[in-house]
Amino acid sequence: MIPELTFDELASRYSLLCRATQNQPDTASTLIPVNEVLDKLNSLLKQDLLTLAREGSPDDFAEIYFALEQELERFREFCAFPTLAQKVVIGFGGAFSAGKSTLINTLLGEKLLAFEVDPTTSLPTYVLHGSEDSLCALNLFHQRVELSHAEFLSLTHDERIIYGSSVAGLLNAAFITRTNFPWSNLALIDTPGYSKPDGEFWSARTDEQLALAQLNASQVIVWVIAAKAGTISEDDIKFLAKLRPEIPRLVVVSRADQIPAKDISSVVEGIRKTLTERNLPVLDVIPISARKKLDFPIEPLMTYFQEWNQKGQELRFAYNFKRQFTRYARFLQDQQAHAKLHLNRLNKILTLADSPDIQQDAKELKDSALDELNRLKEIADKLQILRGQFFIQLKAIGDRVGIPLPEPDDIDLLDIQGFDLLGLLRKEREQRGLMSNDYRQHWRVLTTQATPSNLPNLLRRNPDYFMDSNSTLTQESAVQGVTQLLRQRSETSPFQNLLP
């Protein structure tokens, strides 16, 4: 039952609802031309790409489309608040009620975020430094909505009980700027809990995929585990395994005062051991308590934040968009390769067959296979054109709001994490019974002449640097390994001792 509200309380809530449902921009808004181009991007996805998918698409197209849609939604947030483009985004993740909002409030020394936010109505909330204290949100129509601090704090799981409304369900994200925010180059984002809570008001709006998209777009992830849990849950482990492995992760055990002090060390070590065994490396596991800061000091965590504050921002919007388009393109390439193989087999049958009946059947099958090959090529050509249009529009938006968004090169999409090219070379020679080769001259050539743009041609001109006709190493593997070398080239590079 909704409590009886005063006239002023009802009027205030009605005003908030009106602002949250505003679908027309202010005539003075600088977002109007940007939103028009964003709508074109949205149309390319929701109309052109879906139409193309009906002609032929991979089995996981739904995942590709959802990833593109979520990335575009996040890109809208950055366009509405371009200051974010210059920040290193620290994503706070964890299960429902793990203590993410409490931890952020503890870090900032004030209650900016509501506690125990219900995932149905909670908002992804950015907190960052600004020239003035402000609080606003983007609604479902991509319009900015100014909020008072009291209005923002009311957007909790109790909102429907107290006011009979669910304003947060009309908003996509909130932005809080503070002049006293301690890190000029950081932005914190409080993400909704990925897990389903108990309660009648949960909906699919906040689910695992949404939390995944938000955290995968962060430069650093702070994963929060409630100390009362005693360990990291299997659900947490499964979720963490889906996040991009190259994103640094720091685990915080929140509300450490809620378990006996003698047990906290074993909890921390248990979490660290479990993550190591499950191949989920983390920077550290730190117990924190807002109530007993002397017993569980926040300084170790603050040290990490100071370090991240010195790093530069690396926007990955263009990379993430290109990655999904490439998934689609590779499916079409594989299908074309299969169709060509089928066509070649039919050509052999036609050449070897003596029976006119067999030749006629083979010819009909060949014509059908050729039609399929041409159909796949047509789809691939359409996808390439669509992708080109998408990135032209994306760059135009980036130029307008001051966010550089060039289309990434294909080589930048290679997954080179943990790739040990030198180890593979040595193992290959050992398996073939050959003496260990001295690769130093080859590394010298590559480290002085190679760049990501000329690397493939360099390898083709000098294939003996890495492989011969009997080698199981592929040119793609070589490209991956040397690309990693080029990116790691510095005084601390592990390859320096190999150079003459």
- Kindly report, residue by residue over 278-308, the tens digit of the pLDDT: 999 999 999 998 788 788 888 999 999 999 9
Query: Can you tell me the distance from the alpha carbon of 263 to that of 25, in angstroms, rounded to the nearest whole number?
Result: 55
Between residues 477 and 163, which one has the greater pLDDT?
163
Query: Mean pLDDT lowest for which of 236-250, 308-322, 464-478?
Result: 464-478
Q: Could you say which DSSP state residue 315 is in?
A: -
Q: Is a pLDDT exceeding 90 seen at residue 68? A: yes
User: What average pLDDT does this structure show over 68-95?
Assistant: 87
The packing angle between helices 261-277 and 234-242, to 10°, is 40
Q: Could you say which DSSP state residue 57 is in?
A: -
| Model pLDDT, residue 156 | 72
Query: Can you tell me the distance from the alpha carbon of 287 to that of 297, in angstroms, rounded to the nearest whole number?
Result: 8
pLDDT tier at 253, thresholds 50, 70, 90: very high
Max mean pLDDT among 130-134, 158-162, 304-308, 423-427 falls in 304-308
Task: At 381, list the tokens.
Answer: 């050509």
Length of the chain: 500
Q: Output the CA torsion 58→60→62→68 (10° steps).
A: -90
Residues paired with 187 in a beta bridge: 89, 128
pLDDT tier at 116, thresholds 50, 70, 90: very low
Query: Mean pLDDT lowest for which of 204-218, 279-293, 435-449?
Result: 435-449
In one letter, which amino acid is 417?
Q
**Given phi > 0 = left and psi -120 to 50 = alpha, else beta, which region is 378?**
alpha
Q: Is a pLDDT exceeding 60 seen at residue 124? A: yes
Query: Can you tell me the distance from the alpha carbon of 305 to that of 325, in angstroms, rounded to the nearest whole number?
Result: 34
Beta carbons of 253 and 271 less than 8 angstroms apart: yes
Task: At 289, list the tokens.
Answer: 């308590």
pLDDT more than 90, % of the chain: 34
Residues paired with 94 in a beta bridge: 224
pLDDT tier at 24, thresholds 50, 70, 90: confident
pLDDT tier at 328, thresholds 50, 70, 90: very high
User: What average pLDDT does this structure show over 176-183?
Assistant: 91
Task: At 98, list the tokens.
Answer: 């793990």
| Residue 42 phi, psi (nearest 5) | -60, -40
In one letter, which amino acid is 472?
T
Q: Is a pLDDT exceeding 60 seen at residue 213? A: yes
User: What average pLDDT does this structure show over 386-398?
Assistant: 92
- The H or E element containing residue 400 is helix 356-401
Beta carbons of 458 and 446 less than 8 angstroms apart: yes
- 89 contacts: CB under 8 Å, gap ≥ 6: 126, 186, 187, 188, 189, 217, 218, 219, 220
Q: Is a pLDDT exceeding 60 seen at residue 441? A: no
Q: Is a pLDDT exceeding 70 seen at residue 2? A: no
- What domains appear along the chain, each with residue ranges and CATH number? 7-32+62-67+82-309 (3.40.50.300), 317-408 (1.20.58), 421-498 (no CATH)
Does the pTM of the predicted model rise above 0.95?
no
Max mean pLDDT among 48-52, 78-82, 144-148 falls in 48-52
Q: Is a pLDDT exceeding 90 seen at residue 405? A: no
Measure CA of the first residue to CA of the last residue in the chain; give whole Å. Answer: 79
User: What average pLDDT does this structure show over 458-482?
Assistant: 49
Query: Can you tell me the distance from the alpha carbon of 419 to that of 52, in angstroms, rounded to the nearest whole number?
Result: 35
| Model pLDDT, residue 443 | 53
